[in-house]
Amino acid sequence: MAFVTTAEVCDANPQLILSGEPRALQPVFQIYGRRQVFSGPIVTLKVFEDNVLVREFLEEKGNGRVLVVDGGASLRCAILGGNPVVQAQNNGWAGIIVNGCIRDVDEINGCDIGVRALASHPMKANKKGMGEKQVPINIAGTRISDGEWLYADTDGILISRTELSV
């Protein structure tokens, strides 16, 4: 499917929007990376101020998936940096959503991948390997489950149980 804008999806599906499908994330994320428009099946991860599991996921082949990380909305350190983003780009990930902070912004902005995060922060995360993989998470006012679909562009981010078309 060719990507259509999130606004077009919302306009073409008013009945679905009223029933809560698809769901729009609250507009709290900053846009990073060269790919401003991206979509794909979601892989979820829940961590707090620890980036070991984030790095592990991004070392895998992405196959066009989007990693959605609930970092507890922490603004005390970055849980994603430039090296893992370069690796994600090279491994075929479509994008990364971080409910928390990133760092190495200039490096990330040079990568052909979509990244959204709350903010940037110079301090690095812990490396304890704590967290939960592929579990339902709640970020930006929306419950997100592993295997759902994410659509992101400069207007916002939509989550859907299935792949969307207009």
Binding-site residues for Mg(2+) sit at 104
Known binding residues for substrate? 81-84, 103
Q: Which residues are annotated as a binding site?
A: 81-84, 103-104
- The two tokens of residue 50 are 């620890």
Cα angle 70-25-85, degrees, rounded to a multiple of 5: 50
Task: Please state, in angstroms and rounded to a whole number, the distance separating the CA atoms of residues 156 and 99.
Answer: 15
Query: CA-to-CA distance for 6 and 12, rounded, in angstroms?
Result: 10
Length of the chain as a residue count: 166
SS3 77: coil
CA distance 144 to 37: 19
